[in-house]
Structure 1
Amino acid sequence: MSDTGLKQGVAKAAPASEQAIEQPVECLKGVGPALSEKLAQAGIMTVRDLLLHLPLRYEDRTRVVPIAGLEIGRGCRICCTVVSAQSEQGRRPSLFVRVQDATGTCGLRFYYPSAALRNLYLPGVMLDLFGEPRPGRNGVEFYHPEVMPEVVSEGRSEAPEGDQVQNPGGSGVALAGLSTPRLTAVYPALAGLAQTQLRQLVVQSLGLLRQATLIEHLPRPRGDITLPEQTVLACGLSQALHIVHQPERLGNAEETTGGQAEQVSLAHTSRSPIELAQDRLALEELLAHHLSLLRLRRQMKSRHGFVVDAEPKLSRRLLDALPFRLTGAQQRVMQEIRADLATGQPMQRLLQGDVGSGKTLVAALAALDCIDSGLQVALMAPTEVLAEQHIESFRSWCQPLGVSVQLLTGSMKGSEKKAVKALIASGSAQIIIGTHALFQKDVLFRQLGLIIIDEQHRFGVGQRLALKDKGRQPHQLVMTATPIPRTLAMSIYADLDTSVIDELPPGRQVIQTSVVPSKRRDDLIERIAYALAEGAQVYWVCTLVAESEAVESQAAESTATMLAAALPGFNVGLVHGQMKSENKRMVMQQFKAREIQLLVATTVIEVGVNVPNASLMVIENSERLGLAQLHQLRGRVGRGAKQSYCLLVYDAPLSQLAKQRLQTMRESHDGFYIAEKDLEIRGPGEVLGVRQAGSLNFRIADLQRDQHLLPLVKKLAAAATPALESELSTRWLQHRMQFVEV
């Protein structure tokens, strides 16, 4: 099917039974042109789109907490009476309101209060509010709590009618508010739209959903479906939407939809109604995503690309010049890539390899094969640090062969950029390495035959699409140093063939990893001084650039100052993402040249930095990082002949998840095992680094949480009809179909 035909197929009219939710959002009360425009910017154009704008999390506002029972940092609801209110001056003027109930007192604080707000909080006024208690100037305080109803005065509510609860303040006055048996949904933020507005619009949308009969595209439970799968498939789509938007606190699935959808028996599952509803929606979204990638794979296989000469000359010359031989895994992967390039169909291949496995060399060999056939190659890196690392490697390998390798980044001077762009347009530049600058409109390639995308998940979908469109069906090689478990790779990259370099070069020593409490910082600095005196170089990684009140993390700037004072005989450098590119480049060059012995850095050095003499890595606040990121950072050492060490510094006390992650880092150096453990313990370090997988941002699916659904996704995809594929694409991907071909 052509691109045009595909889009026409997706945009077809909705079934009559679903027309109630296919109406534009303007049909909802309170949605005028301005609000409609804000919603459209977020891809919300119809009532259905709003129903699929799913909650991120829930707040329990069903239970009133006495003030004496408040827990710092835990959102809660209190019912109280205003004792006093006073304006306070300072760097930020504020209104401080003292409130009480029968068990104690606390404060409410509102910054930059209006006159109307000051007049609202008068002594004796009774409040029903929700917020997060935090330590403040005057004890426990709520900062800008959500008041529900806004005011209850003299026993009469000025808010809309609602369920009544007894005021724990002791006056016996009933309060109206959100004393509902339901949890309160918290939605992904939309610019210029408050959570209360979103909730009101969703309530209206659920009313229209009750008027519709959603077509169930997934099959009903069959004999070849296992018991847990039967439970997921038995949950109807309409029922699942009601549950996730308005979940009962302690209710069951039958109560949630008011009898509008088929009932689901939970007798044979341990999952709650919310989890079951999430499973049902995630299953359908994952299936839509998977089918779209399979369609892309079929389309790509039907097209004609460049045929690359199967008798490489330049790559053979490079291999002859190297002081080592390729590993067996590298040789196998090269054969797979060459087989793709020789077919005449555009290659779509994912190259996975652990830290230090030699992916970049394989990419360089593939690039030389394409240059042998008169094609240009573009390598896109997510950061300038990584792009400059690649330019150094590619020039050392390719320029002695007479191949022109050029760099193009956003920080280059205008005259430099203009000169490089001219070389690209003429074809004189054969390998072009860069960042986002590569897909600017005025960058024109003469014969772009191969795109190498490093760390693909760090790029936006539109960026990758823009680069692909600069060539006539170019081959694509996607590289990642973040090992992805096979079950995930098959779903995330269903449009790609997968190659894995699962072997490290011989002679690599295992990095010794230790876990160190931050209270032993003096011992740690003493060890660093000894290592520096022995001629080693050291990384010290921090998670922040500057001090933050919100996160108790040692900042890079203050750490560099502290270490420079503690180690006066050595040069301490600093590099972080907020520095100018020229300054970062200069510091990194000084570190590589051993002019700097200790480099303090943020996670900007996570990928691409190669300094063989660096043999000690200190990671501050390691308990805050995910396993994948810790593994990537550790891979910056162990690249030379010296025994290397990684010290994971943590602040006590450790959560159970943090303990599991650090224990995994101590026990294993296998990136694929670490990725599997990352999924197993569900830590914060997502396998893909960001909430973006393949070519789509998911609305509800989470590849860590929902991996148990992937076998069923593949089973359903194998039996899917073209009609099912089209219907699911319409439902889940309608406004994003232009991004499927990436």
Structure 2
Amino acid sequence: MTVSSNRQLVCDLQGVGKTSAEELRQLGIETLEDLFSYYPYRYDNYEIRDLADVRTDEHATIVGKVHSEPVLTYYAKKRSRLAIRVLSGRYLITVIAFNRPYLKKKLKLGDKVTVTGKWERNRAVLTASEFHVGLPEREERIAPVYPVKGGLTVKRLRAIVRQAFRQFPDCLSENLPSKIINDYKLMGRKEAVYEIHFPSERSRLKQARRRLVYEEFLTYELKMQAYKLKKRQSSYGIPMNIQRDRLRSFLGGLPFSLTRAQKRVVDEILDDMASDAAMNRLLQGDVGSGKTIVAAIALYAAWTAGYQSALMAPTEILAEQHADSLQKLLGPFSVNVALLTGSIRGKRRKLLLDQLKEGTIHVLIGTHALIQDEVVFNRLGLVVTDEQHRFGVGQRRELRVKGTDPDVLYMTATPIPRTLAISVFGDMDVSTIDEMPGGRKAIKTYWVRHEMMERVIRFMRSELTKGRQAYVICPLIEESEQLDVQNAMDVHAQLTQALPGFRVGLMHGRMVSEEKEAMMASFKNNRTHVLVSTTVVEVGVNVPNATLMVIYDADRFGLSQLHQLRGRVGRGNSQSYCVLVANARSETSMEKMRMMTETSDGFRLSAFDLKLRGPGDFFGKKQSGLPAFRLADMVHDYRTLAAARDDAARFVKDPLFWESEAFLPLRRPLIEAGILNNDRLD
């Protein structure tokens, strides 16, 4: 019986019994849809290649002639290493085969051999993963490799996929409009899925992947765009009547002029606040780009419209810093700014909560304390979350529901390319401050080897003598047998001895919150002169007197993290410095150090970091909102992502998309996700 639906269960395939079905289920494969979209994670290349075209550390398959007697050596409990000279084309190379001692008797001078392995160009060595005496026997030149476990082998999985194509040849119906296929010159869906599992040649595999990546991005972006559209249509936000005259007076009273980028994002935010749809906007900008003043303008605008605001920060010291700066900015205009943290207790806390409920507190700044049940607003209209990635989705939602459809502004100092930001942060609109305020001195960044630490300490002593302060960052808390890198405890002891007369503090992730807060406050108040720390140094904490950032084993950190750490200094009027200490040996590590010394552009650094590390490592495995694609890569396929986003935005605004039978395959995932019923998007 032929069934034309990929909802068919894999247990209905001929040759797939209970055991195989259970093994497939362990991989998340229960239907034909699951099976066909269980793509290989890599391909072994068995195409015969000329070594002139193979890069170092790349795998290659070569055919050659045995040119010397094999040399066999044993080591470590009968493990063996066989070395043999092979002439392949114009290259005379050494082939090394581990734990294949039987080859010594099989190989004779002049024999033809086929070898697949890792090529080291500088040494002219090919380390064999496969070794065959004779000419190539493999039919397939490009062999897919799948992640498998248990008793299921790659070979068996491929046989099951092949059987699915034979038994249900009509199950992979086309789901893209013909215009899209023609405009982008895309491969048909069935053909693309077959080629991804059974590639005939490199060029066709590339075309198959291109088609399936676009399809995956389009499906995702349709969910995003449809959710945004439906949310705007059904979301009755607060159309704030912002007093523009008072706002102009406020802006005119600032001791500096806004940059063009700040003016642009302020206009975007104010337009959202004035509309009758609830704002859901991400404000991203580099370290020192002026996100706080933009937030202050939004808070003031909400006050002129008669609404309260809340600003949530991840730590007490950051909340206190925001409260201090906002009181200075907004206080003179009769805006009552208050601070609520876990440290505020008793009568003081009760009075604050009473004033908030009455509406006499206009802007409340705090930590997670803001989301407690006892915190009740009189008329909450705007919610601002700083360093939004530090809070869970649930925590952000708890603050939002304290008002009736308040406007929401999220802020982050981790700049990422706009196309990626729009995808990662899902249903948010994105505002980007991509211009730095004038007048700030650039932080001078240097890369030194570990052998130069004495010189670095002399420079640190010089800065401390001038009354300045320094951060010293280490990758580990204490010594590790596995890693040969500096640790905070040893460095703290060394610097305490090397810098008599100066107080050296220590901060790391094993300390409880109160200890970390106390140490950070001591450093901020200049009671501690040097702060030795792991990367728990708070993002956004403002210590204008700190002029030196020293980062041990800097090549172990991502570029974006290094840039964030560098941003802890350069916040005052004095010249600041960042010293990267690293014996970087790999090409990637050296390139990272060069990038850090050559540019202070956070967007450029983050784009390079994304290429190096991929989105999963860049955002952190638990980053809320990061979509998990089977085949697509948001970084390397960003042009396809942008095209899919634009197409999706156009589709959802077209009545034909919602009515035509031709678009039903693309509408079906939206129906199943519950988006059309205004269910919240996961």
In the alignment, the residues of structure 2 paired with residue 593 and residue 571 of structure 1 have an alpha-carbon distance, to the nearest angstrom, of 12
Is 2:556 the counterpart of 1:568?
no
Residue of structure 2 equivalent to 1:661: 592
Residue of structure 2 equivalent to 1:252: 201
Residue of structure 1 equivalent to 2:33: 48
Residue of structure 1 equivalent to 2:70: none
In the alignment, the residues of structure 2 paired with residue 609 and residue 615 of structure 1 have an alpha-carbon distance, to the nearest angstrom, of 14
What SS is found at the alignment partner of 1:647?
strand
CA RMSD of aligned residues (A): 5.1
Residue of structure 2 equivalent to 1:450: 382
> Is the 8 Å Cα contact of residues 62 and 183 (structure 1) preserved in structure 2?
no
Given the superposition, is the C-alpha separation of residues 294 and 731 from structure 1 closer, same or farther in structure 2, using an over 3 Å criterion? Answer: closer
Residue of structure 2 equivalent to 1:539: 471
Q: 2:281 aligns with which of 349, 353, 359?
A: 349
Is 2:584 the counterpart of 1:652?
yes
TM-score by length of 1: 0.67
1:540 Cα deviation (Å)? 1.4
Given the superposition, is the C-alpha separation of residues 48 and 423 from structure 1 closer, same or farther in structure 2, using an over 3 Å criterion? Answer: farther
> Is the 8 Å Cα contact of residues 323 and 365 (structure 2) preserved in structure 1?
yes
Residue of structure 2 equivalent to 1:297: 228
Q: 1:690 aligns with which of 606, 620, 625?
A: 620
For 1:596, the aligned partner's letter is T
Is 2:172 the counterpart of 1:214?
yes
In the alignment, the residues of structure 2 paired with residue 510 and residue 441 of structure 1 have an alpha-carbon distance, to the nearest angstrom, of 45
What SS is found at the alignment partner of 2:410?
strand
In the alignment, the residues of structure 2 paired with residue 278 and residue 706 of structure 1 have an alpha-carbon distance, to the nearest angstrom, of 11
Given the superposition, is the C-alpha separation of residues 200 and 675 from structure 1 closer, same or farther in structure 2, using an over 3 Å criterion? Answer: same
> Is the 8 Å Cα contact of residues 330 and 362 (structure 1) preserved in structure 2?
yes
Moved more, 352-361 or 332-341: 332-341
What SS is found at the alignment partner of 1:629?
helix
Residue of structure 2 equivalent to 1:285: 216
1:393 Cα deviation (Å)? 3.4
> Is the 8 Å Cα contact of residues 378 and 452 (structure 1) preserved in structure 2?
yes
Cα deviations by residue, 1:392-437 (Å, 9 ceiling, x for unpaired)? 434554566452434356x999999999888777767654445566
> Is the 8 Å Cα contact of residues 280 and 409 (structure 2) preserved in structure 1?
yes
> Is the 8 Å Cα contact of residues 512 and 644 (structure 1) preserved in structure 2?
yes
What SS is found at the alignment partner of 2:8?
helix
Residue of structure 1 equivalent to 2:442: 510
Q: 1:361 aligns with which of 293, 300, 322?
A: 293
1:480 Cα deviation (Å)? 2.5
For 2:7, the aligned partner's letter is Q
1:237 Cα deviation (Å)? 4.2
Is 2:4 the counterpart of 1:19?
no
Residue of structure 2 equivalent to 1:706: 637
For 2:146, the aligned partner's letter is A
Given the superposition, is the C-alpha separation of residues 564 and 307 from structure 1 closer, same or farther in structure 2, using an over 3 Å criterion? Answer: same
- The correspondence of residues 137-536 of structure 1 with structure 2, limited to 5 A, is 182-186=143-147, 207-208=163-164, 211=168, 213-220=171-178, 225=183, 229-230=184-185, 233-234=186-187, 236-238=188-190, 240-241=192-193, 252=201, 266=204, 273=205, 276-302=207-233, 303-311=235-243, 323-382=255-314, 386-398=318-330, 401=334, 403-408=336-341, 430-434=362-366, 447-461=379-393, 464-465=396-397, 467-489=399-421, 491-492=423-424, 495-536=427-468
Structure 1: gaps spanning 5 or more residues: 1-14, 64-70, 75-82, 85-95, 108-131, 133-164, 169-178, 188-192, 254-264, 267-272
Give % identity. Answer: 37
For 2:476, the aligned partner's letter is L
> Is the 8 Å Cα contact of residues 575 and 600 (structure 1) preserved in structure 2?
yes
In the alignment, the residues of structure 2 paired with residue 35 and residue 437 of structure 1 have an alpha-carbon distance, to the nearest angstrom, of 46
For 1:29, the aligned partner's letter is K
In the alignment, the residues of structure 2 paired with residue 603 and residue 238 of structure 1 have an alpha-carbon distance, to the nearest angstrom, of 49
Given the superposition, is the C-alpha separation of residues 562 and 492 from structure 1 closer, same or farther in structure 2, using an over 3 Å criterion? Answer: same
1:238 Cα deviation (Å)? 4.9
Given the superposition, is the C-alpha separation of residues 589 and 702 from structure 1 closer, same or farther in structure 2, using an over 3 Å criterion? Answer: same
1:492 Cα deviation (Å)? 4.8
1:593 Cα deviation (Å)? 0.6
1:449 Cα deviation (Å)? 2.3
- The correspondence of residues 79-98 of structure 1 with structure 2, limited to 5 A, is none
Cα deviations by residue, 1:32-84 (Å, 9 ceiling, x for unpaired)? 99997x888xxx87563565465666789999xxxxxxx99x9xxxxxxxx99
In the alignment, the residues of structure 1 paired with residue 441 and residue 347 of structure 2 have an alpha-carbon distance, to the nearest angstrom, of 45
1:663 Cα deviation (Å)? 2.2
In the alignment, the residues of structure 1 paired with residue 530 and residue 641 of structure 2 have an alpha-carbon distance, to the nearest angstrom, of 45
Residue of structure 2 equivalent to 1:117: none
For 1:588, the aligned partner's letter is M
Residue of structure 1 equivalent to 2:102: none
Residue of structure 2 equivalent to 1:141: none
How many aligned positions are there? 605
What SS is found at the alignment partner of 1:603?
coil
What SS is found at the alignment partner of 2:431?
strand
Residue of structure 2 equivalent to 1:161: none
In the alignment, the residues of structure 2 paired with residue 418 and residue 199 of structure 1 have an alpha-carbon distance, to the nearest angstrom, of 68
> Is the 8 Å Cα contact of residues 492 and 506 (structure 2) preserved in structure 1?
yes
1:555 Cα deviation (Å)? 2.3
For 2:602, the aligned partner's letter is G
In the alignment, the residues of structure 2 paired with residue 391 and residue 322 of structure 1 have an alpha-carbon distance, to the nearest angstrom, of 17
What SS is found at the alignment partner of 1:182?
strand
In the alignment, the residues of structure 2 paired with residue 557 and residue 54 of structure 1 have an alpha-carbon distance, to the nearest angstrom, of 46
Given the superposition, is the C-alpha separation of residues 51 and 407 from structure 1 closer, same or farther in structure 2, using an over 3 Å criterion? Answer: farther
1:639 Cα deviation (Å)? 0.8
In the alignment, the residues of structure 1 paired with residue 301 and residue 158 of structure 2 have an alpha-carbon distance, to the nearest angstrom, of 55
For 1:539, the aligned partner's letter is Y
For 2:175, the aligned partner's letter is H
Given the superposition, is the C-alpha separation of residues 567 and 369 from structure 1 closer, same or farther in structure 2, using an over 3 Å criterion? Answer: same
In the alignment, the residues of structure 2 paired with residue 568 and residue 291 of structure 1 have an alpha-carbon distance, to the nearest angstrom, of 62
Residue of structure 1 equivalent to 2:105: none
Given the superposition, is the C-alpha separation of residues 404 and 382 from structure 1 closer, same or farther in structure 2, using an over 3 Å criterion? Answer: closer
Given the superposition, is the C-alpha separation of residues 518 and 284 from structure 1 closer, same or farther in structure 2, using an over 3 Å criterion? Answer: farther
1:582 Cα deviation (Å)? 0.7
Structure 2: gaps spanning 5 or more residues: 49-55, 60-73, 84-95, 100-117, 119-129, 134-139, 652-656
What SS is found at the alignment partner of 1:368?
helix
In the alignment, the residues of structure 2 paired with residue 581 and residue 23 of structure 1 have an alpha-carbon distance, to the nearest angstrom, of 53
1:553 Cα deviation (Å)? 2.9
> Is the 8 Å Cα contact of residues 686 and 704 (structure 1) preserved in structure 2?
no
For 1:571, the aligned partner's letter is R
Residue of structure 1 equivalent to 2:18: 29
> Is the 8 Å Cα contact of residues 348 and 475 (structure 1) preserved in structure 2?
yes
For 2:302, the aligned partner's letter is C
> Is the 8 Å Cα contact of residues 616 and 645 (structure 1) preserved in structure 2?
yes
Given the superposition, is the C-alpha separation of residues 49 and 497 from structure 1 closer, same or farther in structure 2, using an over 3 Å criterion? Answer: same
For 2:639, the aligned partner's letter is H
What SS is found at the alignment partner of 2:497?
helix
In the alignment, the residues of structure 2 paired with residue 627 and residue 46 of structure 1 have an alpha-carbon distance, to the nearest angstrom, of 42
> Is the 8 Å Cα contact of residues 47 and 141 (structure 2) preserved in structure 1?
yes
In the alignment, the residues of structure 1 paired with residue 368 and residue 162 of structure 2 have an alpha-carbon distance, to the nearest angstrom, of 41
For 2:577, the aligned partner's letter is Y
- The correspondence of residues 57-72 of structure 1 with structure 2, limited to 5 A, is none
